[in-house]
């Protein structure tokens, strides 16, 4: 019984196939061979499906994938030879249909060298086929261009953890777009409307009887329906008093994201309540924030949280709080009596589906709600979340999306 032969070792073990294919394509482009992205992708897939075990297999995989015109074959052969002759990978002389002729004389199976640019003669100008690129730890001491770059955090990701006081208007606008992109998965609630669905648990008697007319009033097929889900409403109140001066612009960006994506009702309050839904839905973030700032006439003054919560519940907009997710952004400093705020929050809690309080002071180590108003409102809140950076505002959006 014959024993099966062990598989031949791969030609280029431990090589980043994508980096190898791109480096070879760049070398070919320098010598006039038009190599496209499709060819590079085909070459990478070819090496992944059938890893080359000889130089001949590598040659044909690269030639079939990267060369599209017959006139480019001679240039490809010369580049391939110039690259791999120095690596010691022998090529079967019978692997090519037409042997290469050395213009400088000598062995017919030798390969002609290619005149390369000055960049190829520099250290690290070859292909990453012998060893992997150098690691990041040694990249600072090496002159190789093939070193793996250090993955530093992006500018956007770094700004997400910066406090609001240190951000300018441009950075605020950049982060607001990042915040709006985070509002993708929104909670829903069951509505009173129904639609036909074979997986429904309820039988639509009227539709079933209507269809049974075709069969002499025999209900051959039962029509099932289920309730239609609709987005859960969202209402946000933002404190714009003197103690919230640094956080108010960032909270406006959060309210704009909620108003645009989730069609939320948003309000600002200090001593009076101001509805900002119409102005914050402007297509320009800069214009929307400017109009919202101008519309709030009592900003950076005193705070009356209890009075404004009662005003919202008593207005015709208070109906939007029924079954809604209500977000209150404030540090809890209130000039109204704590018992008034407790009564207003209790009334709000009976209407709303969930109540989330954002406090910019809650992110400080060892924070405790010792302010009288904050302590009075906390029992009626489902969550108390820090909101001192844009990353913490994204956590607020995540918490809302999980409110099923």
Domains defined for the chain, CATH in brackets: 17-139 (no CATH), 192-230 (no CATH), 232-401 (3.40.50.410)
Distance CA 383, CA 364 (A): 16
CB 261 within 8 A of CB 280: no
> In 183-234, where does DSSP find H-type helix?
205-212
In DSSP terms, 235 is beta-bridged to 265, 326
Handedness of CA 245, 250, 253, 254 (dihedral sign): negative
Helix and strand numbers (H, E) in the chain are 16, 9
- pLDDT of res. 376: 92
- pLDDT of res. 390: 84
- pLDDT of res. 185: 66
- pLDDT of res. 235: 92
389, 391, 402: which is closest to 166 by C-alpha?
Answer: 389
pTM over 0.75: no
Q: Which helix (H) or strand (E) holds 373?
A: helix 372-377
CB 261 within 8 A of CB 180: yes
DSSP 3-state assignment of 296?
coil
CB 305 within 8 A of CB 243: no
- pLDDT of res. 150: 40
Q: What are the backbone angles phi and psi of residue 267, rounded to the nearest 5°?
A: -140, 150
Mean pLDDT, the chain cut into blocks of 10 residues (404 residues total): 52 78 89 88 88 86 89 88 64 44 41 40 44 42 45 57 76 75 70 79 82 78 82 89 86 86 88 90 84 84 90 90 91 90 94 91 83 91 88 83 66
Distance CA 120, CA 23 (A): 11
Q: What are the backbone angles phi and psi of residue 300, rounded to the nearest 5°?
A: 60, 35
Q: Which helix (H) or strand (E) holds 314?
A: helix 305-314
């Amino acid at each position: 019984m014959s024993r099966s032969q062990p598989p031949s070792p791969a030609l280029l073990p431990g090589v980043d196939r994508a980096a190898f294919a791109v480096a070879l394509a760049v070398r070919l482009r320098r010598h006039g061979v038009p190599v496209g992205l499709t060819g590079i992708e085909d070459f990478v897939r070819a090496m992944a499906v059938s890893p080359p075990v000889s130089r001949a297999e590598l040659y044909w995989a690269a030639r079939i994938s990267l060369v599209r015109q017959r006139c480019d074959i001679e240039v490809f052969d010369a580049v391939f030879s110039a690259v791999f002759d120095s690596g010691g990978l022998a090529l079967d002389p019978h692997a090519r249909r037409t042997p290469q002729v050395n213009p400088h004389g000598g062995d017919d199976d030798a390969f002609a060298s290619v005149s390369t640019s000055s960049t190829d003669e520099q250290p690290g100008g070859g292909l990453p086929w012998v060893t992997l690129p150098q690691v990041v730890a040694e990249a600072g001491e090496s002159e190789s261009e093939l070193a793996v770059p250090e993955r530093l955090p992006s500018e956007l990701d770094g700004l997400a953890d910066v406090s609001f006081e240190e951000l300018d208007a441009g950075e605020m606008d950049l982060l607001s777009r990042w915040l709006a992109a985070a509002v993708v998965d929104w909670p829903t609630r069951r509505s009173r409307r129904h639609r036909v669905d074979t997986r429904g648990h309820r039988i639509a008697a009227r539709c079933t009887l209507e269809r049974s007319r075709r069969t002499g009033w025999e209900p051959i097929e039962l029509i099932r329906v289920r309730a239609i889900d609709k987005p859960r409403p969202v209402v946000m109140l933002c404190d714009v008093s003197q103690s919230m001066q640094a956080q108010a612009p960032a909270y406006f960006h959060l309210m704009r994201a909620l108003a645009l994506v989730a069609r939320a009702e948003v309000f600002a309050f200090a001593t009076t309540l101001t509805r900002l839904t119409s102005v914050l839905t402007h297509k320009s973030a800069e214009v929307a924030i400017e109009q919202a700032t101008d519309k709030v006439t009592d900003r950076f003054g005193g705070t009356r949280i209890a009075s404004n919560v009662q005003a919202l519940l008593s207005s015709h907009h208070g109906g939007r709080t029924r079954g809604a997710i209500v977000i209150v952004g404030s540090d809890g400093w209130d000039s109204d009596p704590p018992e008034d705020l407790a009564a207003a929050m209790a009334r709000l809690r009976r209407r709303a589906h969930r109540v989330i309080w954002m406090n910019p002071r809650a992110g400080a180590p060892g924070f405790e709600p010792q302010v009288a108003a904050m302590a009075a409102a906390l029992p009626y809140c489902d969550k108390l979340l820090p909101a001192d950076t844009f990353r913490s505002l994204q956590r607020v959006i995540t918490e809302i999306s999980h409110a099923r």
